[in-house]
Structure 1
Amino acid sequence: MPGGDMLLGGADLAENFLALDLVDELRLYIHPVLIGRGTQLFRPSDATVDLRLVETRVFGNEVVLLRYERAVP
């Protein structure tokens, strides 16, 4: 997003920004680690955001990037 702001955070921050309709792009980094428990990133809610996958990348340490942008209506 040229000239846009970027904010790094976790599940709670993402949930709040999605609910307020403030998300244009979402980047998820998936780390291949099983920890057994954690915070669910997308909890059931009434808010929906149509996203489309625009990039995937696998890094040497097996971390995977999934980059989504807001879908054009």
Structure 2
Amino acid sequence: MALYYALGNLPAPEWLTHKFFSGIYLCGGGAFAGFLLDHDLIDQLVLKVNPIVFGHGVRLFGGSSRKVELALLGATSYANGVSLLRYDVKRGGAA
């Protein structure tokens, strides 16, 4: 799968840390989330956990096999069973 980006004169992943970007919000997952994880470009991870199991679907980080350590910053539970979990990605963790 090819990755296309708008700032063609900057090599990936440098375009993601360009001074014009202050942050990226990615809703979903898959190949792009895996790319960000593999290139150490995720500082914080917010997971919304819904009380339902599908049995199959798109992997959260695509084909990435990188292991990272997370530090829980906070957790919020809602009456409908949804949980919102906020983590910091520890730098220097397992690669």
Per the normalisation by structure 1, the TM-score is 0.73
Give the aligned partner of residue 70 of structure 1: 89
SS of equivalent residue, structure 1 residue 10: coil
> How many residues align structurally?
69
Cα deviations by residue, 1:22-72 (Å, 9 ceiling, x for unpaired): 000000000011222112224562x33222111111012110111100226
**Percent of paired sites with the same residue:** 35
Quote the Cα distance in structure 1 between the aligned partners of 2:28 and 2:88.
Answer: 18
Instruction: Kindly name which structure, 1 or 2, has the bigger radius of gyration based on alpha carbons.
Output: 2
Query: Which amino acid letter does the alignment assign opposite residue 71 of structure 1?
Result: K
Does residue 27 of structure 2 align to residue 9 of structure 1?
A: yes
SS of equivalent residue, structure 1 residue 14: helix
**Alignment root-mean-square deviation, CA:** 2.1
Structure 2: 5+ residue runs without aligned partners?
1-21
Per the normalisation by structure 2, the TM-score is 0.59
Task: Write 1 or 2 for the structure with the bigger share of strand.
Answer: 1
